[in-house]
A and B are shown apart, each in its own frame.
Chain A
């Protein structure tokens, strides 16, 4: 009887001690997660996610109020990187990569007002006052900021055409089990 009580007491105090030491030794200072997530984001603050810029989205992802798939320009690659960072699993097949889109200028309507140029987060629009603007396809992230600013509705979002180089075999239909 006495031995049982003693051994349990000893066990309890040892485990308690262990927990105490662990709490001190492996103490995590602050929350570095938000900063790390923000470092992964595109950083263009385009606002497509519905949060105030990339830092806002990063904070929301870190506290779990936004899914890792929230960033359309980041696409699957970002979603995957974020999932890896947070140690969660996602089905990338479900990520609404609704086809990447980029902005295009309808040249016959553009009046060369330069408004779109000012809001482009990646300086992807070329042009000067009274000159027809043009989008550098490689630089456009498809954030869509320019669409609303255009007074003549010359800016539109166009899906990036699939080319032979970018075409991917579809995943086979699920079978059997």
Chain B
């Protein structure tokens, strides 16, 4: 913290990039509601951690909000029915994942009535104990809606345990094209503020800072109005710079604190939750409604009427695109934002809890320039919000030297995409890093497996040895018995013969 730091701070962050945000006109379009489609496809893994385990049977009738699948393991989240209807299949569908691999999902045929099941609203959530709030949040299947989809209740408990003093609410939404959080804050600011106050209660935080990028003046105004009665909730406009919505960067911008490498934010006394997560917590507690729907931004050059759509989870991308209309066949479909989103193999993929947007790009937007040779311009180094050296890491990975990349702290990479965005040679840097991270964890798994194999082999050899020993012992014993019997027989015959 020297004079230099202050000098740079007054000029805004010296990291990141500033891509064209393409947020308007979609952000300004009124929020629409998608009519419940005939069939919903509900994947069992919409969160980080263990997949949920179905608790319904094919053919079973379910009500809206009814539990479809329960959480499995410590880090997991349950999944509920987004509408009333009948379970028509439990099987594999294409996952919202670039690989196009399959994943277990429940197919629900809507009965068209949208009948709610039993709900347990709480009139005063602040009278509940923090543990009870965490329990209800977990039961409602609330996960981080900013895209990380980490089960929120787990974070509550962590925050409580580590005595977090400040709740940071992430309304950054720095990804271009997306405006679902913006839309939520504009139209449902009071829900967000109520939800964040419930979270503060649940983690025992004294104050809350809501970081909203300056390019959302309407959202800032609405949130300021909603937060006015509460002195400990502060709305903080932050510079619009990608990746401001990344936890570490937002924490640093708002509090000046830096989360140490390999540590969690809670260890420096802050906890970050997304604005949509806050709204989901509000609904879970005040209305007793599980997380079954969300606001999805539908945007991109191929969309006829871009805007935000309130949609039940499990609606397919094709349903949403059909609702907003298309001007042309999309050249590329992306789930999430263009910087960190997921490439979709086709449109018959359901939206999930973490789906903040669907982008249907036209041919011009989808154009991938040919990658060229690195000219060592250093743009990536200047853009990297983590202070890494992307070009050096990529060089090592290209040469197959993953350990070399690790020495440049590849593990600190947040995959924000700034480096690949600014690269004038259009080198797919993030793909190098994703490949290397995957490969390294695969090697780690295989190492563990080799160790396990060794153990099995040793156990088998021990067993074989024991068996031989036992066999030998048994044989010896039998022999001894036989000998004894023989001796006895001889003895008796002798005695018989002797007289």
A in complex with B: yes
In angstroms, Cα B445 to Cα A43, docked, is 18
Since A121-B457, A164-B101, A175-B427 are in contact, a sample of 5 more A-B pairs with Cβ atoms closer than 8 Å, ordered by chain A residue number, is A164-B45, A166-B445, A168-B442, A169-B431, A175-B425
A177 at the interface (CB under 8 A from B): yes
Write the nearest CB–CB distance from B96 to chain A, whole angstroms.
Answer: 10
Q: Are A168 and B438 in contact (CB under 8 A)?
A: yes
In this complex, the member of B45, B371, B425, B443 whose beta carbon has the largest number of chain A beta carbons within 10 angstroms is B443
Q: Are B400 and A170 in contact (CB under 8 A)?
A: no
| Residues from 24 to 82 in A contacting B, C-beta threshold 8 Å | 42-45, 73-78, 80-81
- Show the binding face of B for A, using Cβ within 8 Å: 45, 95, 97-99, 101, 103, 370-374, 397-398, 400, 402, 425, 427-428, 431-432, 434-435, 438-439, 442-447, 450, 452-454, 456-460, 463
Given A122-B460, A176-B373: A73 touches B103 (CB 8 Å cut-off): no
- The SS class assigned to the A binding surface is loop
In angstroms, Cα B434 to Cα A170, docked, is 9
| Residues from 154 to 176 in A contacting B, C-beta threshold 8 Å | 162-164, 166-176
Residues on A with beta carbons closer than 8 Å to the beta carbon of B446: 74-78
Residues on A with beta carbons closer than 8 Å to the beta carbon of B374: 176
Write the nearest CB–CB distance from B354 to chain A, whole angstroms.
Answer: 14
Q: Are B450 and A78 in contact (CB under 8 A)?
A: yes
Residues on A with beta carbons closer than 8 Å to the beta carbon of B445: 166
In angstroms, Cα B374 to Cα A85, docked, is 33
Q: Are B97 and A164 in contact (CB under 8 A)?
A: yes
A17 at the interface (CB under 8 A from B): no
Given A164-B95, A172-B371: A124 touches B456 (CB 8 Å cut-off): yes
| Residues from 70 to 110 in A contacting B, C-beta threshold 8 Å | 73-78, 80-81, 91-93
In angstroms, Cα B103 to Cα A74, docked, is 29
- Show the binding face of A for B, using Cβ within 8 Å: 42-45, 73-78, 80-81, 91-93, 121-124, 138-139, 141, 162-164, 166-177
- The SS class assigned to the B binding surface is helix
In angstroms, Cα B398 to Cα A170, docked, is 12
Write the nearest CB–CB distance from A79 to chain B, whole angstroms.
Answer: 10
In angstroms, Cα B85 to Cα A16, docked, is 92
The closest CB in chain A to the CB of B432 belongs to A172
Q: Are A42 and B453 in contact (CB under 8 A)?
A: yes
Q: Are B453 and A122 in contact (CB under 8 A)?
A: yes
Contact of A175 among B45, B371, B453 (CB under 8 A): B371
Residues on A with beta carbons closer than 8 Å to the beta carbon of B456: 44, 121-124, 139
Q: Are A122 and B457 in contact (CB under 8 A)?
A: yes
Q: Are B397 and A123 in contact (CB under 8 A)?
A: no
Q: Are A169 and B438 in contact (CB under 8 A)?
A: yes
In angstroms, Cα B442 to Cα A172, docked, is 18
Residues on B with beta carbons closer than 8 Å to the beta carbon of A173: 371
Residues on A with beta carbons closer than 8 Å to the beta carbon of B459: 123
The closest CB in chain B to the CB of A100 belongs to B446
Write the nearest CB–CB distance from B399 to chain A, whole angstroms.
Answer: 8
Q: Are A123 and B460 in contact (CB under 8 A)?
A: yes
Q: Are B101 and A172 in contact (CB under 8 A)?
A: no
Q: List 14 A-B contacts (CB under 8 A).
A: A73-B450, A76-B443, A77-B446, A92-B400, A123-B456, A138-B452, A164-B95, A167-B438, A168-B435, A172-B371, A176-B373, A176-B374, A176-B425, A177-B373
Write the nearest CB–CB distance from B76 to chain A, whole angstroms.
Answer: 14
Residues on A with beta carbons closer than 8 Å to the beta carbon of B454: 42-43
The closest CB in chain A to the CB of B99 belongs to A167
In angstroms, Cα B101 to Cα A144, docked, is 27
Write the nearest CB–CB distance from A89 to chain B, whole angstroms.
Answer: 8
Given A91-B400, A177-B373: A44 touches B97 (CB 8 Å cut-off): no
In this complex, the member of A78, A91, A166, A175 whose beta carbon has the largest number of chain B beta carbons within 10 angstroms is A175
The closest CB in chain B to the CB of A139 belongs to B456
Write the nearest CB–CB distance from B341 to chain A, whole angstroms.
Answer: 14
Q: Are A123 and B463 in contact (CB under 8 A)?
A: yes
In angstroms, Cα B453 to Cα A77, docked, is 14
In angstroms, Cα B460 to Cα A121, docked, is 7
The closest CB in chain B to the CB of A161 belongs to B101
Given A42-B450, A42-B454, A168-B435: A163 touches B398 (CB 8 Å cut-off): no
Residues on A with beta carbons closer than 8 Å to the beta carbon of B444: 77
Q: Are B460 and A43 in contact (CB under 8 A)?
A: no
Residues on A with beta carbons closer than 8 Å to the beta carbon of B99: 162, 164, 167
Write the nearest CB–CB distance from B50 to chain A, whole angstroms.
Answer: 10
In angstroms, Cα B350 to Cα A61, docked, is 51
In angstroms, Cα B434 to Cα A174, docked, is 16
In angstroms, Cα B450 to Cα A123, docked, is 15
Write the nearest CB–CB distance from A94 to chain B, whole angstroms.
Answer: 8
Residues on B with beta carbons closer than 8 Å to the beta carbon of A176: 371-374, 425
Write the nearest CB–CB distance from B451 to chain A, whole angstroms.
Answer: 9
Given A43-B453, A123-B456, A172-B432: A93 touches B373 (CB 8 Å cut-off): no
Given A78-B450, A123-B463, A163-B101: A42 touches B457 (CB 8 Å cut-off): yes
Given A123-B459, A171-B397, A176-B372: A73 touches B438 (CB 8 Å cut-off): no
In angstroms, Cα B97 to Cα A166, docked, is 12
Residues on B with beta carbons closer than 8 Å to the beta carbon of A166: 442, 445
Q: Are B457 and A44 in contact (CB under 8 A)?
A: yes
The closest CB in chain A to the CB of B455 belongs to A122
The closest CB in chain B to the CB of A40 belongs to B450
Contact of B439 among A73, A168, A177 (CB under 8 A): A168
In angstroms, Cα B427 to Cα A74, docked, is 33
Write the nearest CB–CB distance from A58 to chain B, whole angstroms.
Answer: 14
Write the nearest CB–CB distance from B442 to chain A, whole angstroms.
Answer: 6
The closest CB in chain B to the CB of A80 belongs to B443
In angstroms, Cα B460 to Cα A172, docked, is 43
